[in-house]
Amino acid sequence: MSKKLIATIFVLLVLISSITEAGPLCQAACCAVLTQCNIAAVSVVGIVTAGIGAPLAVLACNAAYGACIAVCAASPL
């Protein structure tokens, strides 16, 4: 699925949803970003742990995902 299509679907979902559904949409957007980041890093989500041999790109994807989810949790959605 292309990044433009994912972004378009996300924007449409935000526009047609009520404010009570914004939290799950925020989390879904974070998951979409994590998936695309791991695809760019040539990895699969959930396969790599934070061990010594973990690629730095995958660790950066996981850190960005954690920060994104933290913002979703802290926002008053």
Q: Is the model's pTM score more than 0.75?
A: no
- Write the pLDDT tens digit of every residue in 1-47: 577 777 777 777 766 665 556 778 889 889 998 888 888 888 777 67
The structural domains of the chain, with segments of one domain joined by +, span: 3-74
DSSP 3-state assignment of 44?
A: coil
* C-alpha R_g of the chain: 14
